[in-house]
Amino acid sequence: MFHTILVAYDGSDHAQHALKTAAGLAKIHGAALHLVHTPQIDSPHIVIGAFISQLEHPPTAEQIEAAGKHITDKAVQEVKAEGVNVSGIHISNDSPAPFILDTAQKTQADLIVLGRRGLGSLTALALGSVSQAVSHGAKCACLTVI
Ligand code: ATP
Ligand code: MG
């Protein structure tokens, strides 16, 4: 029985599967579902899911926040369509893995769900760096989905 599920979302197809899985599990277990996202800045671009927008650099805190909100809004709508409410949205421009692990502790998550891979292009590796680091560091159950 899971009480609090945290899903890490970067806008990739893999994260999309993680989102669906996490929403399904939250429904079955009656668990609270939290969403975590860290917009990745690749100056002078900011990556918001598969969408890249041109920015003057460095991006301001407001631009980072807006980029994060853009992608999490979409995720929240998709979860809602599955009949599940999102209990918390956590956005930061920290490194993804430490922020995911820290948010898991703060929300007392008993399950973290994330994609096996993300937006990265190194398809030779079975696990991306974020899913590896989170699997290593998690103090609770951790599910990586394909
Ligand atoms: P790499 O980033 O190491 O080149 P990758 O992008 O293919 O490889 P990861 O970044 O490890 O793989 O992504 C695996 C999963 O981790 C994603 O499907 C998503 O669930 C989560 N994740 C990755 N980056 C972020 C992020 N910036 N914010 C939230 N979750 C993330
Ligand atoms: Mg990545």
pLDDT, one tens digit per residue, over 3-27 is 999 999 999 999 999 999 999 999 9
Q: Which one has a higher pLDDT value, 71 or 52?
A: 71
Q: Topology of 4-145 in CATH?
A: Rossmann fold (3.40.50)
- Cut 0.85: pTM above it: yes
Instruction: Looking at the CA of residue 15, tell me the nearest atom of ligand 1.
Output: 18
Nearest ligand to the CA atom of 37: 1
Ligand 1, closest atom to CA 14? Answer: 18
CA 55 to ligand 1 center in whole angstroms: 22
Residue 11, ligand 1, Cβ within 6 A? no
Distance of alpha carbon 80 from alpha carbon 135, whole angstroms = 27
